[in-house]
């Protein structure tokens, strides 16, 4: 029997990057998977690739109505959920002197508020013994210029993991986070006009000398979400090629 056979997983931001890689891996381990994303075209492409046992729901985690619709659909079709993975995220680059309320709000709305309420809205349907994995990021450990809002929002996500883990331990629900370092995802294309130079700059910060691949982060998420991580809660796993430690 595959390690996730019979389990229901909900992955926000599951139409590309780390979220898509996680959906692909969990499906291969026997899970039934729901993915969300803002762009219908990407969701359609993801479903065409992933095949059976996946349901795609268009929605923005920053929109409470969309989150309510997501969980209403999961309840109607599956009744409960075993695994929640929050992968939806944005990483706008803005110089300190150019920062505005709008930049702040849009980043925290997706990365922090969206993460928290995606979990909160799903908890009534979560089985005892379930697992939640929040995708944080290197922003809460490093001081990248021009990524103030991203870093702050990811620090909030890491804090959420600790607090939720303490609050849900009596229900047997484990909550952890993963903090990817530079990973080769479509998000990198939004970090500057010259994608090649952005990637080269990021590679220079990684002792292993390369970008991570989405599946490498997905494997850490799978570990925490499965019974392999049954005695782990409130922790963060850095998947970073040594960037934070060496």
> Is the CB of residue 91 less than 8 Å from the CB of residue 123?
no
Q: How far apart (Å, rounded) are the C-alpha atoms in residues 102 and 121?
A: 25
Helices (H), the chain: 17-28, 40-50, 64-77, 101-108, 114-122, 148-168, 195-203, 214-225
Helices (H), 51-110: 64-77, 101-108
- What is the distance between the terminal CA atoms of the chain, rounded to a whole angstrom? 39
Q: How far apart (Å, rounded) are the C-alpha atoms in residues 34 and 26?
A: 11
**Residues contacting residue 63 through CB under 8 Å, at least 6 positions apart:** none
Active-site entry in 150, 164, 181, 239: 150
For the question of residue 34 being annotated catalytic, the response is no
Residues designated as active site: 150
């Amino acid at each position: 029997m595959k390690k996730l056979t019979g389990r229901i997983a909900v992955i926000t931001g599951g139409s590309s990057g780390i979220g898509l890689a996680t959906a692909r891996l969990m499906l291969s381990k026997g899970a039934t998977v729901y993915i969300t994303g803002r762009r219908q075209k990407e969701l359609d492409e993801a479903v065409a690739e992933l095949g059976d046992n996946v349901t795609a729901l268009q929605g923005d985690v920053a929109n409470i109505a969309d989150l309510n619709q997501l969980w209403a659909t999961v309840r109607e079709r599956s009744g409960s959920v075993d695994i929640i993975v929050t992968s939806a995220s944005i990483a706008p680059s803005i110089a300190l002197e150019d920062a505005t309320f709008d930049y702040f709000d849009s980043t925290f709305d997706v990365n922090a508020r969206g993460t928290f309420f995606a979990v909160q809205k799903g908890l009534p349907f979560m089985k005892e013994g379930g697992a939640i994995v929040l995708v944080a990021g290197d922003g809460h450990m490093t001081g990248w210029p021009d990524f103030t809002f991203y870093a702050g929002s990811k620090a909030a996500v890491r804090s959420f993991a600790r607090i939720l883990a303490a609050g849900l331990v009596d229900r047997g629900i484990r909550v952890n986070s993963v903090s990817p370092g530079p990973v080769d995802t479509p998000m990198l294309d939004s970090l500057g006009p010259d994608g090649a130079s952005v990637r080269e700059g990021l590679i220079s910060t990684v002792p292993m000398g390369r970008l991570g691949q989405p599946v490498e982060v997905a494997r850490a998420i799978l570990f925490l979400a499965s019974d392999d991580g049954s005695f782990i809660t409130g922790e963060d796993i850095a998947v970073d090629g040594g960037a934070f430690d060496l």
